[in-house]
Amino acid sequence: MTADPTPWSAYLGAYHGQRPGITEAAFERACDPLLGSPHDWLTAALADRPGSVLDVACGNAPLRPRLSGAKTYLGVDLSEAEVRAAQALGRGPVVTGDARALPVSDASVDVVVSAMGLMLVQPLATAIEEVARVLRPNGTAAFLLPARAPLRLTDLRPLALLSLHLRGPGSMPQHVGRRRITALLEQAGLVVTQATTHRFPFHLRTPSDARLAVQSLYTPGRSPEQLMAAEAALAGIAGPGRELPLPLLRVVARKPG
């Protein structure tokens, strides 16, 4: 496979500049009958009254309404367009900032939460050290990340179509699996209390679902023709009961008191 021609930081800046809120839109079509959306699953790992919350790589802040019991909330994201989208939805306070240098004092927050962000941050160890730095003793960190499993046999067909047209189900700057994030969290002095995977169903009922599915993937280096072909292929199998798999990893860690 050839290297992506666009550096990731430029690609991500342009991607989120053009479609703020895309992750929330995709996750709304990926509700599990028992767990709700992936964002619901992440916040369900936290206490009802989680104290002060820092949402790292918050995007348009879809976690904010799910954290109504928080004493305080602050969202931080690198993308100005995402920050503006969060503010327009009344989900503030949200500020522009980098997960590698969080604009928050040492030991000042009870909970750090981050949905679908850490796999974009390099070096990841720096972001994890920042999480450990800003957490208070006995504080909690909870992360949601893309996973490679679990999958079902019926997932092979839509995944094969994405592989055929896009060389795979989108790209990420890095894969952050259970073992890697556990090791980094423990190196930073946190204790992992939970690391669970779950397959959410992205419902592929209509051609517009197929469009959203392809748009919500990071596809650096793929041509407009490849993207259109992937969308048409998914639209061709869309219908009642059709799904694209969305396997996710939820990790919860605690800072010792």
Ligand X SMILES: C[S@@+](CC[C@H](N)C(=O)[O-])C[C@H]1O[C@@H](n2cnc3c(N)ncnc32)[C@H](O)[C@@H]1O
Q: Does 99 bind ligand X (CB under 6 A)?
A: yes
Closest residue to ligand X: CB criterion: 59
Residue 247 CA to residue 50 CA, distance in Å, equals 26
Q: Does 57 bind ligand X (CB under 6 A)?
A: yes
Q: Does 117 bind ligand X (CB under 6 A)?
A: yes
Q: Which of 58/162 has CB closer to ligand X?
A: 58
Q: Does 116 bind ligand X (CB under 6 A)?
A: yes
Residue 161 CA to residue 167 CA, distance in Å, equals 9
Q: Does 78 bind ligand X (CB under 6 A)?
A: yes
Q: Does 16 bind ligand X (CB under 6 A)?
A: yes
Scanning 28-36, 75-83, 189-197, 207-215 for contacts with ligand X by CB under 6 A, the matching segment is 75-83
Least distance (Å) between residue 18 CB and ligand X? 12
Q: Which of 114/140 has CB closer to ligand X?
A: 114
Candidate list 31, 54, 115, 246; residue touching ligand X; CB under 6 A: 115
- 3-state SS, residue 74: strand
Residues 6+ away with beta carbon under 8 Å from 191: 185, 253, 254, 255, 256
Residue 76 CA to residue 58 CA, distance in Å, equals 6
Q: Does 23 bind ligand X (CB under 6 A)?
A: yes
Q: Does 79 bind ligand X (CB under 6 A)?
A: yes
Scanning 54-62, 104-112, 131-139, 206-214 for contacts with ligand X by CB under 6 A, the matching segment is 54-62
Q: Which of 116/234 has CB closer to ligand X?
A: 116
Task: Enumerate binding residues for ligand X (CB under 6 A).
Answer: 12, 16, 23-24, 57-59, 62, 77-79, 82, 98-100, 115-117, 120-121
